[in-house]
Amino acid sequence: MGRKAKLAPSILNADFSRLKEEIKAVEPYSDFLHLDVMDGHFVPNITFGPMLVEAVSKITDVPIDCHLMIYNVPEWVESFAEAGADRLSFHIRSCRDVESVIRAIRALNVSPGLAVSPEDQLFELKPYLGMVDFVLVMSVYPGFGGQEMMPEMLKRVDVIKRDAAEVGADIEVEVDGGVKIENLDQVLDAGTDIVVVGSSIFKRDDVSAAAAQVKALLD
Ligand code: DX5
Ligand code: ZN
């Protein structure tokens, strides 16, 4: 069982009026910065687009892990790549030609990932496991930070890794949603490679100390 994992703070619940300071506070403890893009159609919330991704990429050297919760993914991948995304994940249910989107992302020198929501079936991922660098397992319904984790989703990490091994693919699995200090052990025991943490870092009084605390538990 893997016990070490990378940390990707999600800025969704950061104080956007002080976004630069918030990012600087977590930067020393961040392997990636997780940026949630929502279009108000694929999920019932709207966040931001490439402009903010670009603004963030200008103030940090931490690689940007961009999680697209949008329709019309093929139309947008180039903009997010140009904005500075280092990794782009999109939802398997968000577009018809998943394979060509994965190829388009890779052709832009960005690392492609596929995201699965709780209602998606894992067999749908199988044809693409040899093509992506990572799978993002949602442990809440996508759309909002601060929700309770659905612990049964953690079983998916191992299933995905075994399915990937069958096709000789070495992929990382990222868990996103409801991760907090109290359930971090469970998340690590599941074999998670990358842990997204939003409100449990940015809703704490001392954001920097919170990120340091989570990071220490992942190392
Ligand atoms: C939810 C987003 C998550 C969210 C995680 O749709 O994909 O990245 O920001 O936030 P917490 O850690 O608060 O659940
Ligand atoms: Zn996310």
- Digit-by-digit pLDDT tens for the chain (219 residues) are 458 999 999 999 999 999 999 999 999 999 999 999 999 999 999 999 999 999 999 999 999 999 999 999 999 999 999 999 999 999 999 999 999 999 999 999 999 999 999 999 999 999 999 999 999 999 999 999 999 999 999 999 999 999 999 999 999 999 999 999 999 999 999 999 999 999 999 999 999 999 999 999 999
120 is catalytic: no
The ligand placed nearest to the CA atom of residue 184 is 1
Burial of 112 (0-12, 13-18, 19+ CB in 10 A): buried
Of 39, 133, 176, 193, catalytic: 176
Convert the pLDDT of each residue in 68-121 to its tens digit. 999 999 999 999 999 999 999 999 999 999 999 999 999 999 999 999 999 999
Distance CA(127)–CA(135), nearest Å, equals 13
Distance CA(8)–CA(192), nearest Å, equals 12
Q: Side chain identity at 54, as an amino acid letter?
A: E
- Widest CA span in the chain: 47
* Nearest protein Cα to ligand 1, atom 12: 198
* Ligand 1 contact via 36 beta carbon (within 6 Å): yes
* Ligand 1 contact via 143 beta carbon (within 6 Å): yes
Residue 199, CA distances (Å) to 9, 93, 107, 150 in order: 9, 26, 33, 16
Residue ranges per structural domain of the chain:
6-218
The ligand placed nearest to the CA atom of residue 141 is 1
Contact 80, 50 (CB under 8 A): yes
H helix or E strand, kind and range, residue 173: strand 172-176
Q: State pTM to two decimals.
A: 0.98
Pick the CATH number of 6-218 from 1.20.120.530, 3.30.565.10, 3.20.20.70, 1.10.3470.10: 3.20.20.70
Total number of residues shown for the chain: 219
